[in-house]
Amino acid sequence: MTRGGETLEAAAAIHVAALSDEVDFLAEDNLDPMSDSEVVKLLQDMESCTRRMAAVQHRVLHQIEMRGIPAQSGLKSMPRFLEHTLHLGAADARARCRAATLLGPRELPGQTLPPWLPWTAAAQSVGLVSAEHARVIGRIMDRLPVKLDVEQRETVEFQLAEFATNTTPDDLPKIGDRILAYLDPDGSLTDDEDRQRGRGVTFGKRRVGGMSPLSGEITTTLRELLEPVLAKLARPGMCNPADPESPWAPEHVDRDILDAAANRDRRSTAQRNHDALVAFLRPERGPGRLGEHRGLPVSTILTMSLAEVEARAGVATTASGGSVPLPEALRLAEKSTPFLAIFDHNGMPLHLGKVHRLANPAQRLALIAAERGCTRPGCNAPATLAAVHHITDWSKDGPTDIENLTLACDACHALVNDTPNGWKTVVMPPDSPFAGRTGWIAPPPLDPTGIPKVNTRHHVGELAVATLTDLRTRTTHRARKRAGPTRE
Protein backbone atom coordinates (compact mmCIF):
# COMPACT_ATOMS: atom_id res chain seq x y z
CA MET A 1 0.00 0.00 0.00
CA THR A 2 1.17 3.53 -0.75
CA ARG A 3 0.43 7.04 0.43
CA GLY A 4 1.81 10.13 -1.30
CA GLY A 5 4.24 8.08 -3.37
CA GLU A 6 5.68 6.08 -0.48
CA THR A 7 4.65 2.83 1.17
CA LEU A 8 2.82 2.91 4.49
CA GLU A 9 5.69 0.97 6.00
CA ALA A 10 8.16 3.63 4.88
CA ALA A 11 5.85 6.42 6.07
CA ALA A 12 5.54 4.86 9.51
CA ALA A 13 9.32 4.50 9.76
CA ILE A 14 9.74 8.16 8.77
CA HIS A 15 7.25 9.29 11.43
CA VAL A 16 8.93 7.24 14.15
CA ALA A 17 12.34 8.59 13.14
CA ALA A 18 10.97 12.14 13.28
CA LEU A 19 9.49 11.44 16.70
CA SER A 20 12.85 10.13 17.89
CA ASP A 21 14.56 13.27 16.61
CA GLU A 22 12.10 15.50 18.46
CA VAL A 23 12.69 13.55 21.68
CA ASP A 24 16.45 14.03 21.20
CA PHE A 25 15.85 17.75 20.76
CA LEU A 26 13.85 17.96 24.00
CA ALA A 27 16.46 15.93 25.86
CA GLU A 28 19.24 18.30 24.80
CA ASP A 29 17.31 21.59 24.88
CA ASN A 30 18.11 24.10 27.61
CA LEU A 31 14.98 24.60 29.71
CA ASP A 32 16.44 27.26 32.01
CA PRO A 33 15.16 30.28 29.97
CA MET A 34 11.57 29.03 30.19
CA SER A 35 9.20 30.61 32.70
CA ASP A 36 7.57 28.56 35.47
CA SER A 37 4.24 28.45 33.64
CA GLU A 38 5.95 27.39 30.41
CA VAL A 39 7.71 24.51 32.16
CA VAL A 40 4.41 23.33 33.67
CA LYS A 41 2.73 23.59 30.23
CA LEU A 42 5.58 21.58 28.71
CA LEU A 43 5.05 18.84 31.30
CA GLN A 44 1.31 18.73 30.58
CA ASP A 45 1.86 18.56 26.81
CA MET A 46 4.42 15.79 27.19
CA GLU A 47 1.98 13.81 29.35
CA SER A 48 -0.71 14.19 26.68
CA CYS A 49 1.69 12.88 24.03
CA THR A 50 2.66 9.93 26.25
CA ARG A 51 -1.00 8.99 26.64
CA ARG A 52 -1.63 9.22 22.91
CA MET A 53 1.41 7.05 22.26
CA ALA A 54 -0.10 4.39 24.52
CA ALA A 55 -3.16 4.35 22.25
CA VAL A 56 -0.89 3.86 19.24
CA GLN A 57 0.88 1.02 21.04
CA HIS A 58 -2.45 -0.79 21.44
CA ARG A 59 -2.76 -0.91 17.65
CA VAL A 60 0.80 -2.18 17.29
CA LEU A 61 0.24 -4.93 19.86
CA HIS A 62 -2.97 -5.89 18.10
CA GLN A 63 -1.03 -6.33 14.85
CA ILE A 64 1.62 -8.45 16.57
CA GLU A 65 -1.08 -10.64 18.10
CA MET A 66 -3.01 -11.00 14.84
CA ARG A 67 0.11 -12.02 12.93
CA GLY A 68 1.04 -14.68 15.48
CA ILE A 69 4.51 -13.19 15.95
CA PRO A 70 4.92 -14.42 19.57
CA ALA A 71 4.32 -18.02 18.48
CA GLN A 72 6.67 -17.60 15.54
CA SER A 73 9.30 -16.35 17.97
CA GLY A 74 8.98 -19.49 20.07
CA LEU A 75 7.27 -17.65 22.95
CA LYS A 76 3.94 -18.90 24.29
CA SER A 77 2.14 -15.60 24.91
CA MET A 78 2.13 -11.87 24.22
CA PRO A 79 3.27 -10.97 27.75
CA ARG A 80 6.26 -13.29 27.45
CA PHE A 81 7.01 -11.77 24.04
CA LEU A 82 7.00 -8.24 25.50
CA GLU A 83 9.16 -9.30 28.43
CA HIS A 84 11.76 -10.64 26.01
CA THR A 85 11.50 -7.95 23.31
CA LEU A 86 11.14 -4.81 25.44
CA HIS A 87 12.81 -6.11 28.63
CA LEU A 88 9.65 -5.42 30.66
CA GLY A 89 8.78 -6.83 34.03
CA ALA A 90 6.11 -9.52 34.06
CA ALA A 91 3.48 -7.27 35.70
CA ASP A 92 4.10 -4.41 33.26
CA ALA A 93 3.90 -6.75 30.27
CA ARG A 94 0.58 -8.22 31.45
CA ALA A 95 -0.82 -4.75 32.09
CA ARG A 96 0.03 -3.57 28.57
CA CYS A 97 -1.54 -6.62 26.99
CA ARG A 98 -4.65 -6.21 29.10
CA ALA A 99 -4.88 -2.54 28.05
CA ALA A 100 -4.50 -3.45 24.38
CA THR A 101 -7.30 -6.00 24.74
CA LEU A 102 -9.67 -3.47 26.33
CA LEU A 103 -8.73 -0.35 24.37
CA GLY A 104 -7.37 -1.63 21.06
CA PRO A 105 -9.27 -2.64 17.93
CA ARG A 106 -11.06 -5.98 17.70
CA GLU A 107 -11.53 -8.06 14.60
CA LEU A 108 -13.87 -10.82 13.55
CA PRO A 109 -13.79 -12.48 10.12
CA GLY A 110 -14.86 -9.78 7.69
CA GLN A 111 -15.43 -6.95 10.18
CA THR A 112 -13.64 -4.62 12.57
CA LEU A 113 -15.27 -4.02 15.95
CA PRO A 114 -14.80 -1.07 18.34
CA PRO A 115 -12.77 -1.60 21.52
CA TRP A 116 -14.36 -3.22 24.55
CA LEU A 117 -14.12 0.17 26.29
CA PRO A 118 -14.79 2.57 23.41
CA TRP A 119 -15.26 5.80 25.42
CA THR A 120 -12.09 5.21 27.43
CA ALA A 121 -10.17 4.38 24.26
CA ALA A 122 -11.39 7.59 22.62
CA ALA A 123 -10.35 9.68 25.62
CA GLN A 124 -6.91 8.09 25.69
CA SER A 125 -6.40 8.60 21.95
CA VAL A 126 -6.60 12.38 22.43
CA GLY A 127 -4.47 12.36 25.59
CA LEU A 128 -7.19 12.99 28.18
CA VAL A 129 -6.73 9.81 30.25
CA SER A 130 -3.66 7.81 31.21
CA ALA A 131 -2.94 4.11 31.06
CA GLU A 132 -3.60 3.88 34.80
CA HIS A 133 -7.00 5.54 34.32
CA ALA A 134 -7.82 2.90 31.74
CA ARG A 135 -6.67 0.03 33.97
CA VAL A 136 -8.84 1.23 36.86
CA ILE A 137 -11.86 1.67 34.59
CA GLY A 138 -11.33 -1.86 33.30
CA ARG A 139 -11.30 -3.23 36.85
CA ILE A 140 -14.51 -1.33 37.70
CA MET A 141 -16.24 -2.62 34.58
CA ASP A 142 -15.27 -6.16 35.58
CA ARG A 143 -17.17 -5.64 38.85
CA LEU A 144 -20.44 -4.76 37.15
CA PRO A 145 -23.20 -7.36 37.53
CA VAL A 146 -23.43 -9.65 34.54
CA LYS A 147 -27.17 -9.00 34.40
CA LEU A 148 -26.66 -5.48 33.10
CA ASP A 149 -27.54 -5.05 29.43
CA VAL A 150 -25.26 -3.55 26.77
CA GLU A 151 -26.78 -0.07 26.95
CA GLN A 152 -26.37 0.12 30.71
CA ARG A 153 -22.74 -0.99 30.55
CA GLU A 154 -21.99 1.54 27.82
CA THR A 155 -23.55 4.34 29.89
CA VAL A 156 -21.47 3.35 32.92
CA GLU A 157 -18.27 3.28 30.89
CA PHE A 158 -19.06 6.70 29.40
CA GLN A 159 -19.51 8.14 32.90
CA LEU A 160 -16.22 6.65 34.10
CA ALA A 161 -14.31 7.89 31.05
CA GLU A 162 -15.77 11.39 31.38
CA PHE A 163 -14.95 11.54 35.08
CA ALA A 164 -11.41 10.28 34.41
CA THR A 165 -10.66 13.32 32.23
CA ASN A 166 -10.97 15.58 35.29
CA THR A 167 -9.44 13.62 38.14
CA THR A 168 -6.88 11.00 39.15
CA PRO A 169 -7.19 7.21 38.88
CA ASP A 170 -7.37 7.04 42.68
CA ASP A 171 -10.80 8.70 42.63
CA LEU A 172 -12.37 6.37 40.05
CA PRO A 173 -13.20 3.56 42.52
CA LYS A 174 -15.35 6.07 44.44
CA ILE A 175 -17.46 6.90 41.41
CA GLY A 176 -17.56 3.19 40.59
CA ASP A 177 -18.98 2.43 44.03
CA ARG A 178 -21.61 5.13 43.60
CA ILE A 179 -22.59 3.85 40.16
CA LEU A 180 -22.98 0.31 41.49
CA ALA A 181 -25.06 1.60 44.40
CA TYR A 182 -27.42 3.46 42.07
CA LEU A 183 -27.68 0.62 39.57
CA ASP A 184 -28.37 -2.01 42.19
CA PRO A 185 -29.69 -0.31 45.34
CA ASP A 186 -31.58 -3.33 46.65
CA GLY A 187 -28.99 -5.99 45.84
CA SER A 188 -31.15 -7.70 43.22
CA LEU A 189 -28.27 -7.73 40.72
CA THR A 190 -25.32 -8.00 43.09
CA ASP A 191 -26.09 -9.08 46.62
CA ASP A 192 -24.04 -9.10 49.80
CA GLU A 193 -23.24 -12.79 49.36
CA ASP A 194 -21.35 -11.95 46.16
CA ARG A 195 -19.27 -9.34 47.97
CA GLN A 196 -18.68 -11.50 51.03
CA ARG A 197 -17.45 -14.36 48.86
CA GLY A 198 -14.31 -12.37 48.02
CA ARG A 199 -13.40 -11.47 51.61
CA GLY A 200 -10.42 -13.02 53.36
CA VAL A 201 -7.09 -12.38 55.04
CA THR A 202 -4.22 -14.79 54.49
CA PHE A 203 -0.99 -15.30 56.39
CA GLY A 204 1.80 -16.64 54.20
CA LYS A 205 4.53 -18.98 55.29
CA ARG A 206 6.80 -17.65 57.98
CA ARG A 207 10.02 -16.50 56.35
CA VAL A 208 13.61 -16.73 57.53
CA GLY A 209 14.00 -14.11 60.22
CA GLY A 210 10.46 -14.51 61.53
CA MET A 211 8.59 -12.22 59.11
CA SER A 212 5.26 -13.33 57.58
CA PRO A 213 3.54 -11.98 54.45
CA LEU A 214 -0.06 -10.81 54.85
CA SER A 215 -2.51 -10.42 51.96
CA GLY A 216 -6.21 -10.49 51.29
CA GLU A 217 -9.41 -8.65 50.45
CA ILE A 218 -11.32 -6.92 53.22
CA THR A 219 -14.90 -5.70 53.19
CA THR A 220 -15.87 -2.06 53.32
CA THR A 221 -17.09 -2.59 56.86
CA LEU A 222 -13.73 -3.83 58.16
CA ARG A 223 -11.80 -1.08 56.37
CA GLU A 224 -14.00 1.71 57.68
CA LEU A 225 -13.73 0.32 61.22
CA LEU A 226 -9.94 0.15 60.98
CA GLU A 227 -9.19 3.50 59.34
CA PRO A 228 -10.21 5.72 62.30
CA VAL A 229 -7.90 3.64 64.51
CA LEU A 230 -4.99 4.02 62.07
CA ALA A 231 -5.72 7.73 61.64
CA LYS A 232 -4.80 8.21 65.29
CA LEU A 233 -2.31 5.48 66.14
CA ALA A 234 -0.41 5.57 62.81
CA ARG A 235 0.30 9.30 62.82
CA PRO A 236 4.00 10.19 62.58
CA GLY A 237 5.51 9.93 66.06
CA MET A 238 2.84 7.60 67.49
CA CYS A 239 3.46 4.04 68.71
CA ASN A 240 7.08 3.97 67.56
CA PRO A 241 8.80 0.90 69.09
CA ALA A 242 12.22 2.40 68.36
CA ASP A 243 11.45 5.53 70.38
CA PRO A 244 10.95 5.04 74.13
CA GLU A 245 9.36 8.50 74.39
CA SER A 246 6.85 7.91 71.59
CA PRO A 247 3.24 8.26 72.88
CA TRP A 248 0.61 5.64 72.17
CA ALA A 249 -2.28 7.94 73.15
CA PRO A 250 -4.73 6.34 75.53
CA GLU A 251 -6.21 9.81 75.86
CA HIS A 252 -5.09 13.30 74.83
CA VAL A 253 -1.48 13.68 73.66
CA ASP A 254 0.32 16.98 74.18
CA ARG A 255 1.01 18.47 70.73
CA ASP A 256 4.59 19.44 71.59
CA ILE A 257 5.37 15.86 72.64
CA LEU A 258 3.81 14.47 69.44
CA ASP A 259 5.63 16.98 67.20
CA ALA A 260 8.96 16.12 68.82
CA ALA A 261 8.29 12.39 68.35
CA ALA A 262 7.24 12.98 64.72
CA ASN A 263 10.51 14.77 64.00
CA ARG A 264 12.37 11.68 65.25
CA ASP A 265 10.14 9.27 63.31
CA ARG A 266 11.80 7.71 60.26
CA ARG A 267 9.22 4.96 59.61
CA SER A 268 7.30 4.48 56.35
CA THR A 269 3.51 4.66 56.24
CA ALA A 270 3.34 0.87 56.04
CA GLN A 271 5.56 0.53 59.10
CA ARG A 272 3.45 3.02 61.07
CA ASN A 273 0.29 1.08 60.15
CA HIS A 274 1.90 -2.13 61.38
CA ASP A 275 3.00 -0.59 64.68
CA ALA A 276 -0.43 1.00 65.16
CA LEU A 277 -2.15 -2.40 64.88
CA VAL A 278 0.33 -3.86 67.39
CA ALA A 279 -0.48 -1.06 69.84
CA PHE A 280 -4.20 -1.40 69.20
CA LEU A 281 -4.25 -5.16 69.87
CA ARG A 282 -2.00 -5.23 72.95
CA PRO A 283 -4.12 -6.53 75.85
CA GLU A 284 -2.98 -3.85 78.32
CA ARG A 285 -4.20 -1.15 75.91
CA GLY A 286 -7.05 -2.39 73.75
CA PRO A 287 -9.71 -0.74 71.59
CA GLY A 288 -11.56 0.84 74.51
CA ARG A 289 -8.79 3.27 75.46
CA LEU A 290 -8.12 5.22 72.29
CA GLY A 291 -9.49 8.52 73.57
CA GLU A 292 -9.90 11.26 70.95
CA HIS A 293 -8.43 12.19 67.56
CA ARG A 294 -8.56 15.84 66.44
CA GLY A 295 -11.18 16.60 69.09
CA LEU A 296 -13.57 13.73 68.34
CA PRO A 297 -13.82 10.16 69.73
CA VAL A 298 -11.88 7.59 67.68
CA SER A 299 -14.76 5.97 65.83
CA THR A 300 -16.23 5.49 62.39
CA ILE A 301 -18.25 8.57 61.32
CA LEU A 302 -20.92 7.89 58.69
CA THR A 303 -22.68 10.64 56.72
CA MET A 304 -25.89 9.96 54.80
CA SER A 305 -28.69 12.13 53.53
CA LEU A 306 -32.31 11.84 54.62
CA ALA A 307 -33.33 11.07 51.03
CA GLU A 308 -30.87 8.16 50.87
CA VAL A 309 -32.07 6.80 54.21
CA GLU A 310 -35.70 6.96 53.11
CA ALA A 311 -34.92 5.26 49.79
CA ARG A 312 -32.44 2.81 51.39
CA ALA A 313 -30.31 3.36 48.29
CA GLY A 314 -26.96 4.96 47.58
CA VAL A 315 -23.90 5.08 49.78
CA ALA A 316 -22.89 6.67 53.09
CA THR A 317 -19.57 8.51 53.16
CA THR A 318 -17.03 8.17 55.97
CA ALA A 319 -14.63 10.62 57.55
CA SER A 320 -11.71 8.49 56.34
CA GLY A 321 -12.66 9.04 52.70
CA GLY A 322 -14.48 5.79 51.96
CA SER A 323 -18.05 4.80 51.29
CA VAL A 324 -20.38 2.15 52.66
CA PRO A 325 -23.52 0.81 50.90
CA LEU A 326 -26.64 2.19 52.57
CA PRO A 327 -27.96 -1.16 53.88
CA GLU A 328 -24.64 -1.91 55.60
CA ALA A 329 -24.36 1.68 56.86
CA LEU A 330 -27.79 1.45 58.44
CA ARG A 331 -26.81 -1.80 60.16
CA LEU A 332 -23.68 -0.12 61.55
CA ALA A 333 -25.76 2.86 62.67
CA GLU A 334 -28.25 0.79 64.68
CA LYS A 335 -26.09 0.96 67.83
CA SER A 336 -24.39 4.27 67.11
CA THR A 337 -24.85 7.80 68.41
CA PRO A 338 -26.75 9.85 65.77
CA PHE A 339 -25.87 13.48 65.00
CA LEU A 340 -28.31 15.54 62.92
CA ALA A 341 -26.71 18.11 60.61
CA ILE A 342 -28.82 20.63 58.67
CA PHE A 343 -27.44 21.95 55.36
CA ASP A 344 -28.51 24.67 52.96
CA HIS A 345 -29.36 24.09 49.30
CA ASN A 346 -25.67 24.43 48.39
CA GLY A 347 -24.78 21.56 50.69
CA MET A 348 -23.07 23.76 53.25
CA PRO A 349 -23.85 23.61 57.00
CA LEU A 350 -25.97 26.31 58.57
CA HIS A 351 -24.41 28.72 61.07
CA LEU A 352 -22.49 27.24 63.99
CA GLY A 353 -20.57 30.07 65.65
CA LYS A 354 -17.90 30.24 68.36
CA VAL A 355 -16.01 33.12 69.93
CA HIS A 356 -12.84 31.09 70.62
CA ARG A 357 -10.07 30.25 68.16
CA LEU A 358 -10.47 26.45 68.16
CA ALA A 359 -13.50 24.88 66.52
CA ASN A 360 -15.75 22.78 68.75
CA PRO A 361 -16.68 19.14 68.08
CA ALA A 362 -20.08 20.10 66.63
CA GLN A 363 -18.42 22.37 64.06
CA ARG A 364 -15.90 19.69 63.14
CA LEU A 365 -18.67 17.12 62.68
CA ALA A 366 -20.55 19.54 60.43
CA LEU A 367 -17.40 20.10 58.33
CA ILE A 368 -16.80 16.35 58.06
CA ALA A 369 -20.35 15.84 56.81
CA ALA A 370 -20.13 18.70 54.30
CA GLU A 371 -16.53 18.59 53.06
CA ARG A 372 -15.42 15.01 53.82
CA GLY A 373 -11.73 15.81 53.51
CA CYS A 374 -9.06 18.41 52.79
CA THR A 375 -10.49 21.10 50.53
CA ARG A 376 -7.34 22.04 48.58
CA PRO A 377 -7.83 21.05 44.91
CA GLY A 378 -6.14 17.75 44.13
CA CYS A 379 -5.63 16.68 47.76
CA ASN A 380 -7.14 13.30 48.67
CA ALA A 381 -6.53 13.47 52.44
CA PRO A 382 -9.74 12.37 54.20
CA ALA A 383 -11.34 14.22 57.09
CA THR A 384 -9.56 12.03 59.64
CA LEU A 385 -6.23 13.50 58.48
CA ALA A 386 -7.44 17.11 58.26
CA ALA A 387 -7.52 19.96 60.77
CA VAL A 388 -10.02 22.81 60.95
CA HIS A 389 -8.62 25.87 59.13
CA HIS A 390 -9.86 29.47 59.19
CA ILE A 391 -10.55 30.66 55.63
CA THR A 392 -9.89 34.22 56.78
CA ASP A 393 -7.13 33.70 59.31
CA TRP A 394 -7.84 34.14 63.03
CA SER A 395 -4.95 36.62 63.21
CA LYS A 396 -6.78 38.74 60.61
CA ASP A 397 -10.00 38.81 62.67
CA GLY A 398 -11.46 35.76 60.94
CA PRO A 399 -14.22 34.40 63.20
CA THR A 400 -14.52 30.78 64.35
CA ASP A 401 -17.89 30.48 62.63
CA ILE A 402 -18.84 27.60 60.40
CA GLU A 403 -19.00 29.95 57.39
CA ASN A 404 -15.30 30.77 57.91
CA LEU A 405 -14.08 27.24 58.64
CA THR A 406 -12.87 24.50 56.35
CA LEU A 407 -10.88 21.27 56.48
CA ALA A 408 -7.21 21.19 55.48
CA CYS A 409 -4.61 18.51 56.07
CA ASP A 410 -1.41 19.58 57.82
CA ALA A 411 0.64 19.68 54.58
CA CYS A 412 -1.92 21.82 52.70
CA HIS A 413 -2.54 24.04 55.73
CA ALA A 414 1.16 24.91 55.72
CA LEU A 415 0.87 26.14 52.10
CA VAL A 416 -1.45 29.01 53.11
CA ASN A 417 0.63 32.14 53.76
CA ASP A 418 1.17 35.71 52.55
CA THR A 419 4.42 35.07 50.69
CA PRO A 420 4.58 35.32 46.86
CA ASN A 421 4.43 31.52 46.67
CA GLY A 422 1.69 31.11 49.25
CA TRP A 423 -1.82 29.79 48.63
CA LYS A 424 -4.94 31.77 49.54
CA THR A 425 -8.38 30.53 50.65
CA VAL A 426 -11.73 32.22 49.97
CA VAL A 427 -15.42 31.43 50.23
CA MET A 428 -16.89 30.82 46.78
CA PRO A 429 -19.50 33.50 45.92
CA PRO A 430 -23.27 32.88 45.62
CA ASP A 431 -23.18 32.89 41.79
CA SER A 432 -20.57 30.12 41.72
CA PRO A 433 -21.57 26.51 40.93
CA PHE A 434 -19.87 25.71 44.25
CA ALA A 435 -21.44 28.50 46.32
CA GLY A 436 -20.29 28.47 49.95
CA ARG A 437 -17.50 25.96 49.35
CA THR A 438 -13.85 26.78 50.02
CA GLY A 439 -11.91 28.03 47.01
CA TRP A 440 -8.12 27.82 46.91
CA ILE A 441 -6.05 30.27 44.88
CA ALA A 442 -2.74 28.81 43.74
CA PRO A 443 0.38 31.02 43.62
CA PRO A 444 1.18 32.62 40.22
CA PRO A 445 3.91 30.12 39.23
CA LEU A 446 1.31 27.33 39.37
CA ASP A 447 -1.73 29.24 38.09
CA PRO A 448 -1.21 32.80 36.83
CA THR A 449 -4.98 33.29 36.38
CA GLY A 450 -5.58 33.56 40.14
CA ILE A 451 -8.97 31.90 39.76
CA PRO A 452 -10.08 30.08 42.94
CA LYS A 453 -10.77 26.37 42.51
CA VAL A 454 -12.52 23.82 44.71
CA ASN A 455 -11.64 20.22 45.46
CA THR A 456 -14.10 17.76 43.90
CA ARG A 457 -12.21 14.61 44.89
CA HIS A 458 -14.38 14.05 47.97
CA HIS A 459 -17.62 14.84 46.12
CA VAL A 460 -17.57 12.46 43.18
CA GLY A 461 -21.33 11.95 43.33
CA GLU A 462 -22.00 15.59 42.46
CA LEU A 463 -20.40 15.15 39.04
CA ALA A 464 -22.50 12.17 38.04
CA VAL A 465 -25.76 12.33 39.97
CA ALA A 466 -27.86 13.64 37.07
CA THR A 467 -26.78 10.95 34.64
CA LEU A 468 -26.96 8.26 37.29
CA THR A 469 -30.50 9.26 38.19
CA ASP A 470 -31.46 9.11 34.53
CA LEU A 471 -29.73 5.74 34.16
CA ARG A 472 -31.58 4.35 37.16
CA THR A 473 -34.92 5.65 35.83
CA ARG A 474 -34.33 4.06 32.44
CA THR A 475 -33.25 0.82 34.08
CA THR A 476 -36.47 0.68 36.10
CA HIS A 477 -38.52 1.50 33.00
CA ARG A 478 -36.89 -1.31 30.99
CA ALA A 479 -37.39 -3.76 33.84
CA ARG A 480 -41.09 -2.93 33.99
CA LYS A 481 -41.38 -3.15 30.23
CA ARG A 482 -39.79 -6.61 30.20
CA ALA A 483 -42.12 -7.70 32.99
CA GLY A 484 -45.14 -6.87 30.81
CA PRO A 485 -48.41 -5.11 31.67
CA THR A 486 -49.69 -5.22 35.24
CA ARG A 487 -53.25 -5.66 36.34
CA GLU A 488 -54.70 -3.16 38.78
Q: What percent helix, strand, coil does the chain show, rounded to 5?
A: 50, 10, 40
**Cα–Cα distance between 420 and 393 in angstroms, integer?**
17
pLDDT for residue 267: 92
Alpha helices by DSSP H, 198-322: 220-233, 255-264, 269-281, 306-311
pLDDT for residue 349: 53
CB atoms closer than 10 angstroms to residue 450: 10
Q: Quick one: how many helices (H) and strands (E) in the chain? A: 18, 15
Which candidate, 339, 277, 273, places its Cα nearest to that of 304? 339
**Cα–Cα distance between 192 and 205 in angstroms, integer?**
31
Q: Which amino acid is at 448?
A: P
Question: Helices 118-125 and 90-103: crossing angle, nearest 10°?
Answer: 110
pLDDT for residue 121: 93
Profile the chain (488 residues) by mean pLDDT over runs of 10 residues.
Answer: 53 81 82 86 90 91 88 81 86 89 82 87 92 90 80 89 88 84 71 68 71 82 81 88 81 79 91 86 56 54 65 65 67 56 52 48 76 85 84 74 82 86 88 86 83 82 53 56 52
Question: Helices 326-333 and 220-233: crossing angle, nearest 10°?
Answer: 60
Do residues 324 and 316 lie in contact, with contact meaning Cβ atoms separated by under 8 Å? yes
Which candidate, 407, 463, 462, 410, places its Cα nearest to that of 440? 407
Virtual CA dihedral for 113, 115, 120, 124, nearest 10 degrees? -100
Virtual CA dihedral for 119, 66, 143, 381, nearest 10 degrees? -60
pLDDT for residue 143: 78
**Cα–Cα distance between 46 and 27 in angstroms, integer?**
12
All residues at 6 or more sequence positions from 69 whose CB lies less than 8 Å from its CB, including other chains:
81
DSSP string, 339-392: ----B-TTSPBPP---SSSSPPHHHHHHHHHHH-B--STT---BGGGEEEEESS
pLDDT for residue 126: 92
Q: CA torsion sign, 42 to 44 to 45 to 47? A: positive
**Cα–Cα distance between 396 and 416 in angstroms, integer?**
13
Which candidate, 328, 399, 407, places its Cα nearest to that of 374? 407
pLDDT for residue 335: 53
pLDDT for residue 1: 43
